[in-house]
């Protein structure tokens, strides 16, 4: 059973999982380690009562800190046992995250297993630099390269019996993590969401038009784009968009009944300089183009620019 935490209101990964007959449940529009941590207990309890699964995989947003989630699970030792904390390192982009994201550093430091993903896409020299950075952050935790498309053997990630973030050590660990503010995620990620109503017809777009739009997004400020776009020249027409710092792929959705286009753009505060470009491409009325902070504030406006300070 998968419990997914996604930033924004578009449950993209859950749509894909449903097509593979994978049971999943989502917690949207906030970070599970701070904004939604109070809802985590209820979500886990509901899963146990409804599905009685052997294992629950909690897939957090990329901005989540592991400690509050681990403590929430450990507090339910009457029905749950924390097996392990796994960190996935994007070898293609880790150097950028390492320099700007305090959360990325914390994730690499506090984990039972580090999976090195997208290592096939980098040069030997860059891979050496990534390994040096990861080892500097966490010299002792095992590091394993993933197979094609991030695959790993199940026996590798289950049965880790984590000793991280024990409740007995919570006070000590909280002192170590005191630099982390409740709004840590707002300091790292800004959002622009295209969220039209379900019956919105939207523009008629082709695959080439979508690819041209994505290719022109500056990858230094657009960290991630995800969503669903209906394309006139694809079969099936509905395509899941998954963009990470200039690289993207499209995954067909066989069953989809939502609006013709719904997208979430994540990045630095500079993404707001491109708001008009996004609105023009999507042909979306202004009231359906939202600027939101993952910590719970959502608002409509013509232009908004944050000067965010990074840890």
The pLDDT of residue 271 is 94
The pLDDT of residue 303 is 35
The pLDDT of residue 13 is 61
Q: How far apart are CA 19 and CA 23, in angstroms?
A: 10
Q: How far apart are CA 269 and CA 288, in angstroms?
A: 20
Q: How far apart are CA 218 and CA 222, in angstroms?
A: 6
Query: Which residue ranges of the chain lie beneath pLDDT 70?
Result: 6-24, 28-38, 63, 96-101, 176-188, 292-311
The pLDDT of residue 59 is 85
The pLDDT of residue 306 is 36
Helices (H) and strands (E) in the chain, counts: 10, 13
Q: How far apart are CA 301 and CA 287, in angstroms?
A: 8
Q: Is 60 exposed, middle or buried (0-12, 13-18, 19+ CB in 10 A)?
A: buried
The pLDDT of residue 298 is 43
The pLDDT of residue 212 is 97
Q: Is the pTM of this model over 0.85?
A: no
Q: How many CA atoms lie within 13 A of 146 on its CB side?
A: 22
Strand-strand pairing, 289-293 and 190-194: antiparallel
- Encode 185-209: b = buried (16+ Cβ within 10 Å), e = exposed: bbbbbbbbbbbbeeeeebeebeeeb
Q: At residue 113, what are phi and psi to the nearest 5 degrees?
A: -155, 135
Residues with Cβ < 8 Å from 9, sequence gap 6 or more? 28, 29, 193, 195, 264
């Amino acid at each position: 059973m998968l419990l997914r935490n996604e930033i924004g209101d578009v449950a993209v990964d859950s749509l894909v999982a449903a097509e593979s007959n994978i049971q999943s449940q989502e917690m949207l529009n906030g970070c599970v380690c701070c904004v939604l941590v109070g809802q985590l207990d209820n979500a886990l309890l509901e899963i146990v009562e409804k599905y009685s699964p052997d294992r629950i995989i909690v897939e957090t947003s990329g901005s989540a800190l592991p400690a509050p989630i681990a403590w929430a699970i450990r507090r339910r030792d009457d029905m749950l046992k924390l097996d392990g904390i796994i960190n996935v390192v994007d070898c293609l982009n880790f150097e950028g995250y390492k320099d700007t994201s305090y959360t990325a550093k914390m994730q690499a430091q506090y984990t039972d297993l580090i999976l090195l993903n997208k290592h096939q896409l980098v040069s030997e020299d860059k891979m050496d630099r990534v390994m040096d950075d990861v080892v500097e952050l966490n010299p002792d935790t095992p590091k394993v390269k993933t197979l094609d498309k991030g695959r790993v053997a199940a026996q590798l990630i289950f049965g880790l019996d984590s000793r991280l973030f024990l409740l007995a050590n919570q006070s000590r660990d909280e002192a170590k993590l005191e630099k982390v503010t409740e709004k840590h995620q707002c300091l790292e990620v800004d959002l622009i969401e295209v969220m039209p109503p379900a019956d919105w017809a939207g523009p008629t777009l082709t695959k080439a038009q979508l690819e041209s739009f994505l290719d022109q997004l500056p990858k230094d400020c657009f960290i991630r784009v995800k969503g669903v776009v209906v394309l006139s020249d694809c079969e099936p027409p509905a395509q899941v968009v998954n963009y990470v710092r200039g690289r993207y792929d499209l995954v067909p959705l066989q069953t989809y009944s939502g609006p013709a286009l719904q997208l979430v753009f994540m990045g630095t505060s500079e993404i707001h300089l491109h708001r008009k470009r996004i609105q023009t491409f999507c042909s979306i009325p202004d009231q359906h183009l939202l600027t939101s902070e993952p910590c719970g504030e959502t608002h409509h406006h013509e232009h908004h620019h944050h000067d965010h300070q990074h840890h």
